Amino acid sequence: MAIGLHNIEAPKGANKAKKRVGRGPGSGHGKTSTRGNKGQKSRSGYSGMRGFEGGQMPLHRRLPKRGFTNIFKKEWNEVNISTLESLFESGDSVTPEALLEKGVVKKLSKDGVVILGRGSLSKSLTVHAHRFTKSAEEMIKSAGGQAHLIK
């Protein structure tokens, strides 16, 4: 017999009946309806507070707080000259999109791409970036290329 959507069944034990509480003593879930006797959790309308530990000082208040988050921090995609040397041919135009396409950067950060001066460059490249270090800019220009700032 062929298996089709019309004759497929769930394996035995896959589907369990919903627990029906408060349906009398014969059900095994009568009277207190699996809530136990008395206490805040047995009352209707109870919703636990996140992190509540029964009145004990919660973990998030016991631990010391340190440091801060700098909301003005710059996030750059850093690319070294040596990477450009190995991935691009002479005369190529290097843009953030080209770096993304070649897998040099995984995703473009909010502040853009910065070219760093580690390595050496022997190819003439036109590099478009949001920032250059002095050494990187000098290397690009000495190799016969151009360094264009993206605003």
Q: What is the domain count for the chain?
A: 1
Q: What is the pLDDT of residue 151?
A: 87
Does any domain span residue 103? yes
pTM for this prediction: 0.58
Does any domain span residue 40? no
Does any domain span residue 89? yes
Q: Looking at residues 141-147, what average pLDDT do you find?
A: 95
Does any domain span residue 66? no
Domain of residue 117 covers: 77-149
Cα–Cα dist 119/125, whole Å: 15
Q: Looking at residues 102-129, what average pLDDT do you find?
A: 95
Give the percent of the chain with pLDDT over 90. 95
Among candidate residues 77, 88, 82, 83, the one with its CA nearest the CA of residue 130? 77
Does any domain span residue 67? no
- Is the model's pLDDT at 121 over the cut of 80? yes
Does any domain span residue 71? no
- Residue 31's contacts (CB-CB under 8 Å, 6 or more residues apart) are 25
Does any domain span residue 62? no
- Report yes or no: 128 and 94 within 8 Å, Cβ to Cβ: yes
The model's pLDDT over 85-110, given as tens digits with 9 standing for 90+, comes to 999 999 999 999 999 999 999 999 99
- Which CATH number goes with the domain that contains 83? 3.100.10.10
